[in-house]
Amino acid sequence: MFWTIGWQSSTRNTIQYLRNHPALKFHQNWCGLSMSKPRIAVIGAGLIGLSAAVCISETIPTCSVTIISDEFTPNTTSDVAAGMLIPHTYPGTPIYQQKQWFKETFDYLFAINNSSEAPSAGISLVSGWQIFKTSSSAELPFWSDIVLGFRAMTEMELKKFPQYRFGQAFTTLKCDCPSYLLWLEKRLKGNGGEVHAKRIANLWDLQNNYDIVVNCTGIGSRQLIGDLKIYPVRGQVLKVHAPWLNHFIRDGDGLSYIYPGIHNVTLGGTREKGSWNLSPDPNISKDIFDKCCALEPSLQKAQDIKVRVGLRPSRLAVRLQKEILVQGEKKLPVVHNYGHGSGGFSMHWGTAKEAARLVGECIATLQDSLSKAKL
């Protein structure tokens, strides 16, 4: 029953609309540098790498941006994700920072959803319920005033879930992951950016060809730069064809969920901390399907059921900071942007904007060094 599986170009007017929209307004503070064209390499072509590259290319149009990765859609961790904007809390990141990243991401995707780009970008609004077996466990989430129409479920709504005592209803955004990644890549190329397929084993290999490196390698940062604070959280999900479903359902524990999208419905899921196993487990697939059918019996009629497995790049806090690597007299500015875990889609544009700001600071430092060298 289960098996494993692995747009069109944007119009100029729509891209201009996106650039001019208040939620997408970019601050071009670094034009007019003495460096004619700073060269930026973004490592990683998943959601975080692509969004950072696009944001940098539009925030700092005087630079050149190149994405370098050995994996591209549909073979990235981001392709496995459900793409729902329902944040997961990072214990090591201040709540106000998480709320800012989420709001920036929500506003950005909401603007795309309100444009003609929505179908090709795979962005849709979806309403539904988050349900709890005890009312005492249902705290008001920090993002409740950002999503649309957040409220407590009515007694009539709760009758759909007789095993649950309390629930919250709201409308949020969903990304169809492969469509969105392809859309971001085409948007980057439209901005003059390049994409190279190559495995990077050492950041210093880039030093001769690039001025600044942006590290968006996710779980790969453990090996690439030796960050032992990042670890995998294995996720197994089912992608099914059930076009009659248009409301999401999420158990408050986050382990059972039904997320309808444009092309399929994602059923989940698992959170196996420390597991590197990418092989689907048939017993887990059956358990996921049974639990989701208990929440939505019509799923018994679902067809074209596929199993996907991904390793969430998890950390107590997203690593979003500058670092200057030193090797003898050589220096290599690096901006790290990784460790989003389960919250990548909810936070990606907010963290991309911060990464772009840090890249701008690196460029300003390089420009200052060049100016001093001329004196």
> Binding site for D-dopa: which residues?
217, 257, 312
- Read off the tokens for 273: 């901390």
Angle (CA) 243-247-249 rounded to 5° is: 115
Q: CB under 8 Å to 67, separation ≥6 — which residues?
A: 41, 42, 43, 44, 45, 49, 50, 53, 185, 188, 193, 194, 195, 196
Tell me the one-letter amino acid at 246.
N
> Which residue numbers belong to the known binding site for FAD?
77-78
Question: By 3-state DSSP, what share of the chain in percent is helix, strand and coil, each rounded to 5?
Answer: 35, 25, 35
> Which residue numbers belong to the known binding site?
77-78, 217, 257, 312
- Read off the tokens for 265: 């419905």
User: Can you tell me the distance from the alpha carbon of 239 to that of 158, in angstroms, rounded to the nearest whole number?
Assistant: 26
Of 195, 177, 198, 185, the C-alpha closest to 78 is: 177
